[in-house]
């Protein structure tokens, strides 16, 4: 078949432009050229892949892209930014400075390890590439102050932590050429959970209908995944899985160099005009950088894909404030890793930003006195917490609920102290705590009414939105929900936690029940004991999301 008669659609779907990423060369040996027959090949030793993966995941847990840090700095310089926007941005920059010392990872949820690779057809490795990469991933998680989060199913209902953070998700695509390209991603559970597929109809391909749909669905993401976000929207796709994979790659800025116009062959393209329109829309929602304001999103990527005529998949997802991805490449010149920012302190402002006049809450007092102090405050009020808290999350709540169902008693510590939903990373040597930021509050929502009815969980601390059942329980039983900053786990672990000890369920690992002592930990009153909700009363009168 000659070129003139070839069918359309043979061109690559993703036609990326030149890679303008700044790389640094790694001191890794084991790459050479070798001629086989009449062609040159790039020979890559298995040890190269292991060493590259180990280095990449070490970097990505401690360093950020300069562009991401500059966006945080831009919030501080914007006179239209809300005080809460600026406070969150400053805390995230401080967190980045602490993390860059390579002792505390930027987030306590050190994530699922994901590798997306494109292997040139003239690259030879003589190994199981995925296995070599996984060895490097396991090495970093074993040797560094990271957290093991992967659960192996032993049966349909029984699970056990793998103790390695493996398995990793590794996808390697064969492509033309003599180069091996990589995207390494550490994807936390909070942002992964905010990836959505919507199976729509072509009727939505109308400017007004599409914007109305996006406004509603983007607002539903809420604050549980730690904004400000890098928001990705993909419209179309040849399958559901292609749409969602494109969402992930777009949120990592892997597809930034796509063309900005479509073509008859069905190539993917970005729509800059719609990106700007959606970004402006996000700034009118009032959600802001976790506690109201305009900086719900740093930026937006909108990618249009071809589709089957009978379907219109739409994918929406985010990269959160723990914006953890890094590119790499192996060429005849050596092994290269994207250059991330090693000196984030240069993005800090000279003038301190704070949350305003915060009320100090002494957590060493009896629970009734703590609640009485909180009851005097309006929703949205900033507080500084000092004293003991109990840390418990999914597995502990499940076990306690099972104990109650079997006729047992709720542990006394659930009644005497505020409950902080979190799970720490490993503790660096000589420190009181590892990175120890909040996890998503909503996962514990089904337990709250029952626990509060028994005198427990009357003050909870976490991040993000909660459902109406928690709001109503707080009103009925005199409880409170306080939200703290998501994405600043290194700062919490190093500067705010003074003591950590296990008090129950040590077999749960990072999901054990801990007793911690905190000093001046910032938070905001979100639900109070009168049925008031910060989001419905302060932020554009938005209703509480139904559970």
Domain shared by 328 and 200, yes or no = no
Last residue of a domain, one of 331, 353, 375: 353
Query: What is the three-class DSSP state of 481?
Result: strand
Domain shared by 307 and 395, yes or no = no
In our burial notation (b when 16+ CB lie closer than 10 A, e otherwise), range 221-257 reads: bbbbbbbbbbbbbbbbbeeeebbbbbbbbbbbbbbee
Domain shared by 120 and 220, yes or no = no
Q: Strand pairing partners for 328?
A: 182, 337
Could you report the per-residue pLDDT of 38-73, keeping only the tens digit for each? 999 999 999 999 999 999 999 999 999 999 999 999
Instruction: Spell out the residues 6+ positions from residue 390 whose beta carbon is closer than 8 angstroms to its own.
Output: 413, 414, 417, 418, 419, 420, 503, 513, 514, 515
Does residue 541 carry a pLDDT above 70?
Answer: no
Confidence of residue 537 (pLDDT cuts 50, 70, 90): low
Last residue of a domain, one of 305, 330, 353: 353
pLDDT of 540 reads 46
Domain shared by 222 and 119, yes or no = no
Query: What is the three-class DSSP state of 461?
Result: strand
Domain shared by 51 and 110, yes or no = yes
Half-sphere exposure of 492 (CA within 13 A, CB side): 32
Helix (H) or strand (E) holding 178: none
Does residue 163 carry a pLDDT above 70?
Answer: yes
More confident residue, 539 or 201: 201
Domain shared by 49 and 167, yes or no = yes
Distance between CA atoms of residues 316 and 247, nearest Å: 6
Residue 338 maps to a domain = yes
Give, in order, the Cα–Cα distances in Å from 396 to each of 3, 418, 443, 477, 489: 64, 15, 12, 22, 21
pLDDT of 11 reads 87
Residue 251 maps to a domain = yes
Q: Mean pLDDT throughout 87-112?
A: 95
Residue 286 maps to a domain = yes
* Mean of per-residue pLDDT scores for the chain: 94
Could you report the per-residue pLDDT of 236-262, keeping only the tens digit for each? 999 999 999 999 999 999 999 999 999
Range of the domain at 466: 359-538
Q: How many CB atoms lie within 10 A of CB 546?
A: 7
Last residue of a domain, one of 321, 339, 371: 321
More confident residue, 542 or 192: 192
Domain shared by 22 and 158, yes or no = yes
Domain shared by 367 and 466, yes or no = yes
Distance between CA atoms of residues 270 and 299, nearest Å: 13
Domain shared by 17 and 66, yes or no = yes
Instruction: Spell out the residues 6+ positions from residue 247 whose beta carbon is closer than 8 angstroms to its own.
Output: 195, 232, 233, 234, 315, 316, 317
Smallest Cα–Cα separation from 367: which of 389, 397, 384?
389
Could you report the per-residue pLDDT of 338-394, keeping only the tens digit for each? 999 999 999 999 877 766 689 999 999 999 999 999 999 999 999 999 999 999 999
Smallest Cα–Cα separation from 362: which of 382, 332, 384, 335?
384
Q: Mean pLDDT throughout 193-222?
A: 96
Confidence of residue 5 (pLDDT cuts 50, 70, 90): low
pLDDT of 10 reads 84
More confident residue, 7 or 387: 387
Confidence of residue 148 (pLDDT cuts 50, 70, 90): very high
Helix (H) or strand (E) holding 197: strand 196-200
pLDDT of 542 reads 40
Q: Mean pLDDT throughout 440-448?
A: 96
Does residue 24 carry a pLDDT above 70?
Answer: yes
Does residue 36 carry a pLDDT above 70?
Answer: yes
pLDDT of 28 reads 97
How many domains does the chain divide into? 3
Residue 547 maps to a domain = no
Residue 240 maps to a domain = yes
Residue 6 maps to a domain = no
Integer-rounded Cα Rg, in Å, for the chain is 24
pLDDT of 543 reads 37
Domain shared by 292 and 160, yes or no = no
pLDDT of 374 reads 98
Domain shared by 226 and 337, yes or no = no
Query: Any idea of the CA torsion for 165, 151, 96, 419, to the nearest 10 degrees?
Result: -150
Domain shared by 345 and 365, yes or no = no
> Taking a C-beta distance cutoff of 8 angstroms, is the pair 274, 211 a contact?
no
DSSP string for 368-389: HHHHHHHHTSPTT-EEEEEEEE
Residue 506 maps to a domain = yes
Residue 467 maps to a domain = yes
pLDDT of 1 reads 54
CATH number at 365 reads 3.20.130.10
């Amino acid at each position: 078949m000659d070129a003139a008669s070839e069918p359309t659609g043979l061109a690559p779907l993703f036609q990326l432009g030149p890679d303008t990423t700044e790389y640094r060369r790694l001191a890794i040996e084991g790459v050479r050229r070798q001629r086989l027959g009449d062609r040159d090949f790039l020979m890559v030793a298995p040890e190269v892949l292991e060493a590259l993966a180990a280095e990449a995941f070490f970097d990505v847990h401690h360093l950020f892209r300069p562009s991401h840090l500059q966006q945080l700095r831009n919030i501080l310089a914007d006179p239209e930014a809300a005080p809460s926007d600026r406070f969150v941005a400053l805390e995230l920059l401080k967190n980045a400075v602490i993390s860059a010392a390579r002792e505390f990872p930027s987030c306590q949820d050190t994530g699922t390890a994901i590798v997306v690779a494109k292997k040139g057809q003239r690259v030879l490795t003589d190994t199981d590439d995925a296995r070599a990469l996984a060895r490097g991933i396991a090495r970093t998680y074993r040797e560094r102050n990271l957290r093991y989060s992967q659960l192996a199913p032993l049966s349909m209902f029984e699970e056990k932590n793998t103790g390695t953070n493996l398995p990793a998700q590794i996808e390697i695509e064969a492509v033309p050429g003599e180069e091996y390209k990589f995207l390494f991603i550490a994807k936390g559970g909070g942002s992964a959970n905010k990836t959505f597929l919507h199976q729509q109809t072509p009727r939505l391909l109308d400017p007004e209908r599409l914007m109305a749909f996006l406004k509603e669905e983007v607002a539903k993401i809420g604050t549980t995944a730690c904004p400000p976000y890098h928001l990705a929207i993909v419209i179309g796709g040849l399958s559901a899985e292609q749409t969602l994979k494109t969402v992930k790659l777009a949120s990592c800025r892997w597809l930034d160099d796509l063309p900005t116009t479509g073509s008859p062959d069905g190539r993917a393209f970005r729509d800059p005009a719609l990106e700007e329109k959606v970004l402006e829309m996000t700034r009118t929602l009032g959600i802001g950088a976790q506690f109201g304001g305009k900086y719900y999103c740093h930026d937006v990527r909108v990618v249009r894909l071809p589709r089957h005529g009978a379907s219109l998949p739409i994918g929406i997802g985010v990269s959160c404030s723990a914006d953890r991805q890094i590119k790499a490449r192996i060429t005849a010149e050596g092994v290269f890793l994207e250059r991330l920012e090693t000196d984030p302190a240069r993005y800090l402002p000279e003038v301190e930003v704070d949350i305003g006049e915060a009320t100090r809450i002494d957590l060493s007092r009896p629970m009734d006195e703590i609640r009485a102090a909180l009851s005097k405050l309006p929703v949205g009020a900033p507080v500084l917490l000092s004293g003991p808290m109990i840390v418990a999350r999914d597995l502990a709540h499940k076990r306690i609920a099972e104990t109650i169902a079997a006729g047992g008693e709720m542990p006394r510590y659930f009644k005497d102290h505020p409950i902080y939903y979190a799970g720490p990373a490993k503790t660096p040597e000589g420190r009181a705590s590892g990175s120890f930021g909040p996890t998503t509050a909503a996962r514990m929502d089904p337990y709250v009414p029952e626990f509060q009815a028994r005198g427990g969980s009357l003050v909870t601390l976490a991040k993000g939105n909660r459902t109406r059942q928690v709001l109503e329980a707080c009103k009925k039983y005199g409880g409170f929900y306080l939200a703290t900053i998501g994405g600043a786990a290194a700062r919490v672990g190093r500067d705010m936690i003074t003591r950590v000890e296990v008090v129950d369920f040590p077999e749960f690992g990072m999901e054990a029940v801990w007793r911690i002592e905190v000093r001046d930990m910032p938070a905001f009153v979100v639900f109070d004991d009168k049925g008031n909700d910060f989001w419905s009363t302060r932020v554009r009168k938005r209703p509480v999301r139904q559970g």
